[in-house]
Structure 1
């Protein structure tokens, strides 16, 4: 990318944005300083009162406390013995992963109750299809959930790219952690800890199929490890495939459905193969069936909803995938105090999405069909003449003769982290230096598209050459060579099909991303206080990220990146070439101060303070801190609280993603317009007669740079207060509860929908420049760049109960129940503007942000007796609703009636599995059934994804059987 845009971005917005928050940061800085001073003063007082106080945290066994090897728990940089800290962490171990039967990590993690909103998965076809699964803690979006592998940033946000057979455990931190990890850790952190020690070889194979006889999956994995006095090496390989499932194979997704006037109707598309034609008198007609060749007016009848096109059977409720993992983790002891290590994993994923054949909207797609086209029986122009800007009658059709639009995605993901770490003799101090390199290449082959320029030529004036008897492009005075006129009025006629196939183009687009990060850190004890030693962890980091969006097919490059940004040489599959990079330098530190220990009502009292300074090349500098308190009034009870500043700089895609086109189902806010909002309804008649001619609007998504939008960082605060109770009188029982709250300002919104843009423009005159209407008022397309939109506030409660016990007769049992209550999820895109009301998402489905039922839960019961094991999992999704009773929100469950709310009941999914160990043969066999009751997802109708439901939340496959065999030797 040229240097001047980056320079402009920094000079315009980096420093002014940050100085608005200087006072708040100084206040927190002084608070941290005061807390540290108070802690030291309190410790000194205790020392004066009792100089014989214990110098370790375990009074019952002082020597043990001194020799235990500490670990770093996700959410902190401090190495310590305690497993329960101020950080609310949920852990999923390798046994739980195996018992779940899930073929990919994403399928497992997305079941957690703390995850909500629009985290993508392989069930997302239109707008997905890469086989990826992401994580959205608190529903704040996957861009606000930081994913780590062994405590280091994952280069590719797809958690399915992490090899499942290499995972030792997964730690999920549901708290803001910008002071510890920097940008993105707002909703929380998911840390995948990989196996670094294994002896032997393990082979595993699995197979699954739905009760409908589709969605077959197959998998094979191998794990091997060697250990010696100076080395440990673990290598793994796996291969997985998943077959597609068509939307037409499920009753709930067979048709596009909508609620209209209280009735369920088939929605369909006006882009039908027989055409939707606006006649000279303003009426709409469509071609009769069975007509071939050139058409006349007599070949058409009045268009009705029965003529609409059902595009649903062409979509998928499960995208096909083929994934291969290769990984290696190795450690070598260079000296007794120095270890060299390396983590390497590589993933290749092939996946695809399929949607209906290309629709043509002459006005929406800016095509011009001349009245002098030889095949035009209507004698009027259609569409938009880009040379003059004139807009004429509507004409829609669908090129079914070209087949479906197919997107074949191949993703190559490599992450390599070599490093060296050491310790000092006679000291608690340890140090580490590593280099984290990530490379992602994604290539998409697009099928079923046309050369825009050639297609436009073929639609223009054409005539019958009297000398040759051949229909020719152009006019008799100016014929056009190498051009075959297209009879767009009869797209399935053999002659039209032949002409269209001459201008088919299958563009190839690509995405390249590189991350390079170098980090040095150290941690250890500073000095002793009466309650124990003060621990310090500190480090320096430098990271550079770069990205390129482009195409290997020159014709797919946008012909104009100005007024028609994103309109390109390929019908609908528009894209611009864009690249850019940024870097960040960071310094961080965290200290754990033991204030009191082994005192009445103060079994322990610890203060945890951390801070991180970040300097972004495009987003300015910022300092974010945290203060956490851990208090054990008795040994069994921990009371904890954390207050953190959180921060997120625009990521590389939000800045530098190129323009890409598509379609989005949405209702034009100007339907029935009678005046009063000229910016939102430009060129729309004011007599109330205006009606949107197609439920799918053309959109142009992009990063902020491509749209010329000055994107700012977002800031906020995170609060977490909770308790952990582990009663000594009932071993095996543990209970925790945490109240959390997150407030964000200047929220970065990626993936806006047209409804939000139209509402912003209609009610507050904001973002109006993103709406592009033709001369007759119909929306040509809407730009959907990444923007800053106001404030976001969320709060709720997390609870966890775990209990395990063993009996001689009935075996071992372990049970757990995780639950999340969403008390609030509010978004205000224009604070202070009375015309823009706060959107309340808690307990409902919000089109932009996803679904936020009040209650979510995940229960598990495991049993083991000798060689037998069994597991039962219950996933609970609470009640929700679609639509808003407030008409001004422009969000109704009914297409024709404002303010309609559609209530959706609670859902519970039950999964069962069982296994048997053949000890003699070192073999384990497991079988399972997911979604035992074969529950169909609830209907969201026009507000759902392509399958009429919320594919981000509910199971679309139905009852699913699986089995797995594992051999170890």
Structure 2
């Protein structure tokens, strides 16, 4: 027996296929996940996938993170490292999502014990374990339990468990050197590692090893990949004769007409105004020389037709392709760490160990330039400010940022960033305001295009574990152990405008807006001070268990085990952009999310394993958890294994589980995720105000077509745990030794699922002019500047209803989530001749149903679509995911080919208002296909053993250089699905290395 926390037994030799099908023979893989007893995949009633390191070496997978991301059962809301560079809340992290049920329903363990949460929650609400905190080179295998396991581990094991198991023993010196680069000469990677071990547990009674590694992956920009992944101009993205819009800033529509609106995201522009009212008939004009300020853009001169559509537009537009200039596919990633372990036989029946790990992960990228005018993006309102009259009076809430007529360098009235009291008597005409001599203020819009922002997360994870496993008698064994883990995260952000400093700079005239390049570094640092924020999380656990063989049954010994656990977990993630000191004491566009909390969990658990006969075996387990925060839960599970014949095993499980509310869900500042505006959000009555319809959405003004709204989530301390019911049923068939097939059905139902109410009722009411339903707050955006007058782009003129800026609602226990599907696997391991062996395995997962039922009885279905759109960041829920790996082993040389398959999906999402029903392409558009194609890539890896000390290997990933299929609706990446596309966006990729052992 070994308790789940301390499963350190050396496994029996396993087939070297990446994701092994479970053999019927009791000599199958030794597994310890989900049970108190050391057993095998064949003996366990639960479906388990074992991924061993040898198989990863054959396949050419260089990190444990990539291995877990490629699990067939991983789907939908998984977090990839590439999504870090696309605005993820949990920037810098990677996480797995089994069954498409999100990162918080998959439990990740380290040697059977829990690991500390990543301090930044996914979407500000979902706690998860960052896969980047796993030390690659000391991993022995990964066990994936594909059914509920709350009866053994407690909370969060609803969709399954991923248990990363480290090596118990290392002998000698082992080193690795590896480098990789894409065929296009970018996205370089390198990896170095060294592990030194001494001692033999059987002969010397001890083993100790020390391991260190370094990993570096270079940044990859969108501009480094071919069209259309590298551009916002989609006029050459065409489908059935219809082509896409030009979404570049200041771009033109497919009909050649300018529809860029006021150039708020382009270079700096100004327009004269009296107070907050723009001068009638005036237009925006560049502030300074466009040739200098339009950095990275191209100049476009408006035609007479353009002028009719947008009378306030400047004569010359700075056209900027944001994706091409600033877009990042993959961030810079640098990881290094050191691990050590000492294991000793304390006596003939007792073994003890101590293990310690340290890993630092640094992830950074540059993004778009910071704005100098914006609304709040975190659900915390602050007024917009204006120094908008000649006398310097303040017009709060006007939505206007203006350069005043006079500036007072001495700082008159600038304590709050405004120039109240500054006039001709104590100030000077504002050199930044070209209209100052006429007594007019200058309405200011735009960005500093040569100042992209910088985002970096630096994570340091410290972990220690120790334990003792032993036997009291030949039939009674015990396990005692403890672990402590601390994660320290530092987030650094530069290039974001601090509101009060902006207003102060305007009031004092201390910043040169006409010629930004003339500013000193001190002036830039004052306008955009570095924002550095610290966050941390902790996990401490002590666990003890006892197991005994009571007596013999016809099928084997009756086993009874039980134990207790106490753990402490906490998160301290203060907001990096709070409004504690007033609405101007914060940054534009930085999210205000922050949370903190801690709790202690006391648990008892037990398991009974009864091999009643050789034909029938029954396993039952249960766990009771009590939280210091007031929640408790009992989680039972029963499993049955039937062996009607030697080559066939039938198995099934039934369990109940729970997910505890995260710290972010129960105690956090409001969080806002942005959802792209699509035709499905609006209705024709509303769009008619802007001269377009849902059918002609691609010709709508940029204000409508290219905007987004904030979905603001408010925490609730009164949330209850989510409850789950799950069952599995499957079969394992091994007609002959070395050939095995499995199929398993799973069905998971979560009730009281924590959710933000659907935005659909609030959006529908707002855009239809109806009262907003109870429980929602809708905040309108600033009006379209083009609607100051009646014109072709805005037929309704000033009466046009603005689009939605934010929808706010509080989390509730309300929904029922259903997940249902099938897992398939097959493996072949055949010695063909002396010295030649064929090994092949295939594993696939098929989602039959993934849906949400709401309190009113309505149901949304997501399988095979890009939904659940908000939960998956537009990554969708493809029905199929799988791989097929085949190795030809010639002894000292082997070659492995792997086909990776990710299914396609329809561009519909029932969680988006107006998107229709599943399969109707509600989020698609006329210029792109309604169905995103399936994605198949092929990898090839070869290894040659020179001698006992040196092995060389080489890998070609994505041999056929197949880039991901076009997805025009996702927002997790530009025009491709970051989960489906995975590393495929890198294109054909070469990696070579050497392993050295002495």
TM over 0.5: same fold? Answer: yes
Residue pair 2:148, 2:157 contacting (<8 A) in 1 also: yes
Q: State the alpha-carbon separation in 2 of the partners of residues 576 and 652 from structure 1.
A: 12
**Residue 469 of structure 1 corresponds to which residue in structure 2?**
none
**Residue 159 of structure 2 corresponds to which residue in structure 1?**
187
Residues 441-479 of structure 1 deviation map (CA, whole Å, 9 limit, x = unaligned) = 0101111022221223445xxxxxxxxxxxxx3xxxxxx
Q: Secondary structure at the match of 1:852?
A: coil
Q: State the alpha-carbon separation in 1 of the partners of residues 956 and 626 from structure 2.
A: 50
Q: State the alpha-carbon separation in 2 of the partners of residues 934 and 320 from structure 1.
A: 22
Q: How far 1:300 sits from its partner (Å)? A: 9.2
Alignment of 1:271-290 (within 5 A): 271-274=264-267, 280=278, 286-288=284-286
> TM-score, normalising length from structure 1?
0.78
**Residue 11 of structure 1 corresponds to which residue in structure 2?**
none
**Residue 267 of structure 1 corresponds to which residue in structure 2?**
247
Residues 88-124 of structure 1 deviation map (CA, whole Å, 9 limit, x = unaligned) = 1111111112123223211122112211012112211
Alignment of 1:826-865 (within 5 A): 826-828=851-853, 830-833=854-857, 837-848=859-870, 849=872, 850-865=875-890
Is structure 2 residue 956 aligned with structure 1 residue 958? no
2:150 to 172, 178, 191: 178
Q: Secondary structure at the match of 1:175?
A: coil
**Residue 908 of structure 1 corresponds to which residue in structure 2?**
936
**Residue 45 of structure 2 corresponds to which residue in structure 1?**
86
Structure 1 unpaired stretches of 5+: 1-66, 460-472, 474-482, 598-603, 677-688
2:543 to 519, 539, 542: 519
CA gap of 1:283–1:966, structure 2 versus 1, over 3 A, is farther
Structure 2 unpaired stretches of 5+: 1-25, 118-128, 250-262, 272-276, 294-301, 378-382, 403-415, 419-440, 688-699, 784-801
Residue pair 1:663, 1:699 contacting (<8 A) in 2 also: yes
Is structure 2 residue 780 aligned with structure 1 residue 773? yes
Q: State the alpha-carbon separation in 2 of the partners of residues 70 and 244 from structure 1.
A: 39
Q: Secondary structure at the match of 2:54?
A: helix
**Residue 239 of structure 1 corresponds to which residue in structure 2?**
214
Q: Secondary structure at the match of 1:453?
A: helix
Is structure 2 residue 389 aligned with structure 1 residue 367? no
**Residue 76 of structure 1 corresponds to which residue in structure 2?**
35
Q: Secondary structure at the match of 1:851?
A: coil
Residues 345-401 of structure 1 deviation map (CA, whole Å, 9 limit, x = unaligned) = 11101111321001344456743233327999x9x954399999xxxx997844325
Q: State the alpha-carbon separation in 1 of the partners of residues 679 and 717 from structure 2.
A: 24
Residues 584-631 of structure 1 deviation map (CA, whole Å, 9 limit, x = unaligned) = 11111111112222xxxxxx2011111111112225111111111100
CA gap of 1:576–1:189, structure 2 versus 1, over 3 A, is closer
Q: Secondary structure at the match of 1:107?
A: helix
2:676 to 639, 661, 665: 665
2:666 to 645, 655, 669: 655
**Residue 964 of structure 2 corresponds to which residue in structure 1?**
937
**Residue 44 of structure 1 corresponds to which residue in structure 2?**
none
Q: Secondary structure at the match of 1:123?
A: helix
Residue pair 2:675, 2:711 contacting (<8 A) in 1 also: no
Of 933-942 and 641-650, more deviation after overlay is shown by 933-942
Q: State the alpha-carbon separation in 2 of the partners of residues 271 and 619 from structure 1.
A: 49
Q: How far 1:531 sits from its partner (Å)? A: 3.2
Residue pair 1:666, 1:755 contacting (<8 A) in 2 also: no
Residues 147-188 of structure 1 deviation map (CA, whole Å, 9 limit, x = unaligned) = 112111122412232122111111111111111111111111
Is structure 2 residue 259 aligned with structure 1 residue 253? no
Q: How far 1:492 sits from its partner (Å)? A: 4.8
CA gap of 1:757–1:946, structure 2 versus 1, over 3 A, is farther
1:541 to 561, 565, 586: 565
Is structure 2 residue 170 aligned with structure 1 residue 198? yes
Q: Secondary structure at the match of 2:737?
A: coil
CA gap of 1:899–1:140, structure 2 versus 1, over 3 A, is farther
Residue pair 2:673, 2:711 contacting (<8 A) in 1 also: yes
Q: Secondary structure at the match of 1:956?
A: helix
CA-based RMSD: 4.1
Residue pair 1:337, 1:423 contacting (<8 A) in 2 also: yes
Is structure 2 residue 93 aligned with structure 1 residue 132? yes
Alignment of 1:15-164 (within 5 A): 73-80=32-39, 83-124=42-83, 125-128=85-88, 130-156=91-117, 157-164=129-136
Of 884-893 and 97-106, more deviation after overlay is shown by 884-893
Q: State the alpha-carbon separation in 2 of the partners of residues 670 and 329 from structure 1.
A: 56
Of 572-581 and 143-152, more deviation after overlay is shown by 572-581
Q: Secondary structure at the match of 1:253?
A: coil
**Residue 878 of structure 1 corresponds to which residue in structure 2?**
903
**Residue 351 of structure 1 corresponds to which residue in structure 2?**
363
Q: How far 1:762 sits from its partner (Å)? A: 8.0
Q: How many residues align?
A: 837
Q: Secondary structure at the match of 1:596?
A: coil
Q: How far 1:582 sits from its partner (Å)? A: 1.3
Residue pair 1:842, 1:852 contacting (<8 A) in 2 also: yes
Q: Secondary structure at the match of 1:933?
A: coil
Is structure 2 residue 458 aligned with structure 1 residue 415? no
Alignment of 1:438-449 (within 5 A): 438-449=485-496
**Residue 868 of structure 1 corresponds to which residue in structure 2?**
893
2:477 to 430, 448, 459: 430
